[in-house]
Amino acid sequence: MIHLMRVLLAALLTLAVVLPVFGGEGDGGENAGGTGVWILPRSTVLTSSSSQVGPGCTPRVPPLALSTLASDAKLRVSNECGQVAASLFAGLAMPVALPVLGQVVTLPAATLRSLVEARVTEATLVLVDASGKGYVMRLVLDLASGNGQLLVY
């Protein structure tokens, strides 16, 4: 009986230590419950017309607000996607490959700052896997306030 109580006590202590790690606010911002990672909606099959996003197109979800461009923006793709490749297109400049770790795409703060310094107000992000599923997003930057938003199409 004493052995069973010790095992139960050890299990409760382990649970008390592990739960705050999974349920805590983390070190992220106000997005996605404070985890610092935006959870993207279901992916779609991308076609040649999917890359044509603009003011006349309707985003699938409310804009994701980037309240500060001083920190990385992390985007978690849907489980429907395989391993994605992510690129940022800003005007006629060469595309910028974005880092991907598992299902999380990072839009580095350094890239955001360089867009602001280059006076770029809009850019397109394309996240796509080998089967053609993914996302097309428009990044809109407000140069005066230093804020931005992502529109997912």
Predicted TM-score (pTM) of this structure: 0.68
Q: Residue 21: its pLDDT value, please? A: 37
Q: Which tokens sit at 2?
A: 């004493």
Pairwise CA distance, residues 89 & 138, whole Å:
10
Q: Write the pLDDT tens digit of every residue in 85-99.
A: 999 999 877 899 999
29 and 46 inside one domain? no
Give how many domains the chain has, as a whole number: 2
30 and 43 inside one domain? no
41 and 94 inside one domain? yes
pLDDT at 70 over 80: yes
Pairwise CA distance, residues 48 & 67, whole Å:
32
SS3 56: coil
Q: Residue 17: its pLDDT value, please? A: 47
Pairwise CA distance, residues 78 & 76, whole Å:
7
Q: Which range of residues forms the domain containing residue 20?
A: 1-34
